[in-house]
Each structure stands twice: as structure tokens, then as C-alpha cells.
Amino acid sequence: MRTVNLINVELAMPVDATQPYDDNNIFAKILRGEIPSTKIYEDEFAYAFPDINAQAPTHILVIPKGGYVSWDDFSDRASDTEIAGFVRAVGKIARDSGLVEPGYRLLANTGPDSHQEVPHLHVHIFAGRPLGPMLAR
């Protein structure tokens, strides 16, 4: 129960993706084992776990092991090896979860207009039902 309270407090603030990486964010704490999570996948580049506030029947979060605030930060500062490893991990997780044939959606928010809630790059994998249009009209 305490984990949920920590997450709810942290998620209340919008993220300015131009700020330096804060190694006290919730995903950094998960990577360090300070906050428990249910591991779906892990390799040297990525860690994946179910979102505790699932927005679809399947809702997996994939985070890079390195400290990157957003997709912009990651694409600018990560090594080619880290970028390739992370992107390949996202694809492997989708394949291993049986999501390719029925389909899935990837989402990575950057900054306040996108409603980024944690200042650590993360990709959402949504699946398990028809997801409708990409954006509300």
C-alpha cells in the first residue's frame, strides 16, 4: 500500500523534460530495488513491469536502465548501443507477450503538454482490446 501512495504523490506534478535527470524519481527507485515491482523483462538496457494504473487490459511500462528524462534526452545523449538495445527490448517484450498479431500501441510522453508524469523516459505498451483513435478529437 505504501508503494501506491509514493507513486500517487509523485505522479501529481507535471514534468519539465528540459530539466536535468533526478535520480530520486520513482522509476530510478524501482531500478535500484528500493520500490518493488513485478518484473516482466530485464536486460542490460531495459526493465519492464506492469503499470499499476493500467489504461488497457495489457499495459506494460518499459524503462531504460540509464538516467534519461524523456525521449528527447535519450535520443540526444544515449549511445547508439543503448538506443538500439532499448528499442529492441520494447519489440521483444511485445513479441514475447503475444501482442504482435492482435496489435498494440506504443506511447512515450515528453513534457507537460503530453502529460508526462515521471521524469524518467518510459514507453507504454497498450494492448488487449481495440484501442480506438490515437487522440481524442
Among 59, 120, 122, 124, the active-site one is 122
**Beta strands across the sheet bearing 104-107:** 41-42, 46-50, 58-64, 123-127, 104-107
pLDDT in tens, the chain (137 residues): 334 334 444 445 789 999 999 999 999 999 999 999 999 999 999 999 999 999 999 999 999 999 999 999 999 999 999 999 999 999 999 999 999 999 999 999 999 999 999 999 999 999 999 999 887 76
Architecture per CATH, domain 2-127, reads as 2-Layer Sandwich (3.30)
Query: The C-alpha cell of 73 is what?
Result: 534526452
59 is an active site residue: no
C-alpha 124/C-alpha 38 separation (Å) is: 15
Query: The C-alpha cell of 130 is what?
Result: 481495440
Which residue ranges make up each domain of the chain? 2-127
SS3 107: strand
Query: The C-alpha cell of 69 is what?
Result: 528524462
pTM score, two decimals?
0.89
